[in-house]
Structure 1
Amino acid sequence: MINQDELFKLILVHFKNVTAMDDCIAGMMQVTTGMAARWRKGLTLITYDRLQLLIQVFKIRTHQLFTVPDGAVSIPAEFQYIKLDVETPDHYLYYIKTIADQLEAMTADLNASLWLKADEIPAFHLLPYKNLIYFMLFAYVRDRMNCDAQFEDFVVQIKTLDLDPVLDRIKNAYDRIPSIEVWHDGVFDNLLYQIENAEILEHFKQSTTKMQLLSELDDVLTKCQEEISVQQKSSGAKFECYRKEIPIRMGYGLAKQEKCGQVNIKIDSINSMTTENQTIFSEFSKSFKATLNKAVPLGIGPIRDRTLFFRQLKDKIAYTRNKLN
């Protein structure tokens, strides 16, 4: 098990400096800042009940308290995963609330940034269009669960969770955080396939629904092209986008902050597993940087390359629209 000095180093990542940490812990424990400093330095042993409180408040995980051989990772203890299914729709609300909380916390860190390796269009860009988000969830549910609902009925059901305010929180926070994203030519393929598949299997009650989704996807693409061209989100935060010439097989995101980072490994269009293990974060960071070295920047690259990239994406949407018309 780690020693007391190492424990307080884990807690320090939540503060600007040791003085701020000592003040906070002293207030929490109702002791002097001098006593808090002695705990931090390991000069005075902290009692078990106070140790337990620190672990709970600062969300220190079991794997962080116990040492393991260099390079070894205790996978069951490292990852968080929330099961999403039809029987427990409230899990989805909890899942997106955790995303909103994390992103909003990141906006307070001037050094924070998001790094996304996107095997399909990142959901952040779809958030202004709630029907597209609902459709992604619907396709996930139809693919993985025994659910016979049609899309429009599913939307009525899912709206009872009051997701929209949380989705807006995510969008507002995302817009304020600088991000670097790597896309490839097939980032829209899965969503277009799912729309076409839903039409073939008669999952739409109304014939206009599929065209509405495709029209919204056109708007998403137009908005993305504008922001990528100026390398800036609507809030003014920096937005760098790169094109990878070969398909991305596994999507993931890195939430990078000044003293720590989190890895979000995509499980499906909707769900992901997360870890705050810094060894894993470091490995994924190296992989992401290696990908950037081989990718083409869309914002500062030749206008012709950027135009051709977005033209082929628009053509794919138009092709699907013509097939379903």
Structure 2
Amino acid sequence: MSDSPYLAATGLQSVGTPTLWGITIAAVVALLVLDFLVTRKPHEVSMREALGWSAFYIALPLAFGAWIWSRFGSNQGVEYLTGYLVEKSLSVDNLFVFMLLLAAFAVPAELAQRALLYGITGALLLRAVFIAIGAAALQTLDFAFLLFAIILLLTAAKLLRDAVTGHEQEVDISKMRSVRLLRKFMPVTEDYHGPRMVVRIAGRRTLTPFALVVTALLATDIVFAVDSVPAVYGITEDPYLVFATNAFALLGLRALYFVLHAALSRLVHLSYGLAIILAFIGVKLGLHWAHGIWPGVPEIPTLASLGVIIGVLVIVTLTSLRATSKAGGGEKEIVVERR
């Protein structure tokens, strides 16, 4: 893949050599296969198991970031770490929506991690497509940065509105178009049949609720890909780093879900923090676009972006914990409707 105009103009070395692309994609596929093997036998995940896998999936991207830093320099190292932090933050919000969906469908505890894994795999595939589209847009469209900036600012506004109204806490599966469409074409059983999506009842192929869960998770993946990919392109324009940060942020979500399951509902101010981060990156992209037209327009350094993102995440975490503590340990109310 050719370098972006920004990389060419700044003289920075592109990280994504064909060999590195091949190794990384093979590693991601291998890790996904490993996760599917781990979840092959449905079982309820213990905290010890979840902590072990979470530690592995945090140590792996950090070690990779250290290698990027030592091999390609501090600029790429900071871009990778900042992009990874942004994607990991957005993935936590993704997890909260997954939690609502699993509750709405009353997914048995032993099937939760397999459902999550399907959602994560779908997210990886969709983001790979969006990354390729984003790279092509940056190479051919002069206003691509402005377009990405507008997308992020609109997403930030929606997040803020939903946080104020509490809309993000509600999941009504009867209104999900993907679920309604499936029910029109095939009947759905009342009970789960393990991780099977289709069973035969009285000689007729019938969907299971697990198939509806997976469909709903994949539908939400599309929404999250729309804002997550432009967000990381606001940090780095190297498609390889964009892919690597997305892949590493998503791969550990299966285990992280069970570690953070209780804590997720206490992060009552997370949406406010993500809205600020996305708006900040949107402004950063807008300034970068304007700088290409009017060189006197200042740009926001990536290192400064890293500081802002860390600061916002720390503040919203502390304020969330303080707010829920004052409320007697109260948590976000999860509102689900099943029909």
TM-score of the alignment, normalized to the shorter chain, above 0.5: no
Q: Which has the higher strand share?
A: 1
Greater relative contact order (Cα < 8 A, sep 6+)? 2
Q: Which has the higher helix share?
A: 2
Q: Give the structure-1-normalised TM-score.
A: 0.30
